[in-house]
């Protein structure tokens, strides 16, 4: 079985699997899984989140940024 | 009457008594407007993710209260007037929110690792295929 170089395994939404429906902006250790080292939000295509959970995560990240729990952009 | 969650950051140079005084003042504002405090939590001095009004650290205070829009208007007005408060946020918790105000313990999850060249400072958008520079 030879797979094309670009084939990726199907990613499942982590929150759907765990049946978590709300994401707390205070939970920075969890949110850090969904931002890059520079502080950008990881796109759904990479994170594997479903649309509704990606929105929830995005909102939480934006809230955390606004209260200085997460950086808007991180210098390396 | 709805439940809201409010969080604010106090300048780090304040003494514990001064911090307590600010917190009492804010609680007073909520109660004056017919609201009631449900929970309150002091996270102590934390490093800020970025500099705010020349401060790199700040004392975080989180609390939940029941009240209406009037409370929020007055509360946020008081935040703005108070010089020791450098940042604040008031949100309505979503349905099914467990209502914990303590900061969740730091880390176990695997941090996101981006591929080289994925997250470049000179690009607004993702670009993985091409070489950096």
Partner residue opposite B114 with nearest CB, options A27, A30, A37: A37
Q: Give the mean model confidence (pLDDT) for residues A2-19.
A: 72
All residues of chain B having their beta carbon less than 8 Å from the beta carbon of residue A69 are 49
Task: Give the per-residue pLDDT at A1.
Answer: 52
Nearest to B58 by CA among B42, B70, B47, B68: B47
Domains and CATH numbers, chain A: 14-66 (4.10.640.10)
Q: Hey, what are B15's tokens?
A: 């003494």
Residue B84 is predicted with a pLDDT of: 92
Closest chain B CA to residue A27: B104
Is residue B89 over pLDDT 70?
yes
Q: What is the pLDDT of residues B35-77, one digit of tens each?
A: 999 988 898 898 898 999 999 999 999 999 999 989 999 999 9
Query: Per-residue pLDDT tens for A29-46?
Result: 888 889 888 888 988 888
Cβ within 8 Å of residue B22, ≥6 positions away: B10, B14, B61, B82, B84, B85
* Full set of structural domains in chain B with CATH: 2-60+67-86 (3.30.70.60)
Which one of A7-16, B17-26, B113-122 scores highest in mean pLDDT? Answer: B17-26
Q: Which residues pair with B66 in a beta bridge?
A: B3, B36
Q: In the predicted model, what is the mean pLDDT of residues A8-26?
A: 81
What is this model's ipTM? 0.77
Best of A14, A26, A65, A73 to disrupt the B interface (most B CBs within 10 Å) is A26
Question: Across the interface, which of B101, B109, B121 has its CB nearest the CB of A30?
Answer: B109
CA distance B113 to B119: 10
CB of B94 within 8 Å of a chain A CB? The answer is yes
């Amino acid at each position: 079985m030879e797979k094309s170089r670009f084939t990726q395994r199907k990613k499942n939404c982590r929150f759907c699997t765990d049946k978590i429906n709300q994401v707390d902006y205070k939970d920075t250790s969890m949110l850090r899984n969904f931002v890059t080292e520079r502080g950008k939000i990881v796109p759904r295509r990479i994170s594997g989140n479903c649309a509704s959970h990606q929105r929830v995560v995005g909102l939480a990240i934006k809230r955390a940024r606004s209260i200085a729990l997460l950086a808007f952009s991180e210098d390396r | 009457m709805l439940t809201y969650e409010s969080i604010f950051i106090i300048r780090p140079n304040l003494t514990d008594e001064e911090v307590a005084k600010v917190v009492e003042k804010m609680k007073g504002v909520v109660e004056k407007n017919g609201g009631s405090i449900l929970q309150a939590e002091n996270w102590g001095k934390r490093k800020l993710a970025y500099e705010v009004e020349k401060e790199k650290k700040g004392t975080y205070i989180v609390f939940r209260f029941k009240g209406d829009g009037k409370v929020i208007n007055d509360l946020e007005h008081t935040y703005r007037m108070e010089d020791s408060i450098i940042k604040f946020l008031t949100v309505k918790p979503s349905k099914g929110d467990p209502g914990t105000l303590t900061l969740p313990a730091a880390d176990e999850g695997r941090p996101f690792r981006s591929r080289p060249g994925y997250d470049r400072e000179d690009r607004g958008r993702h670009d993985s295929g091409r070489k950096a520079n």
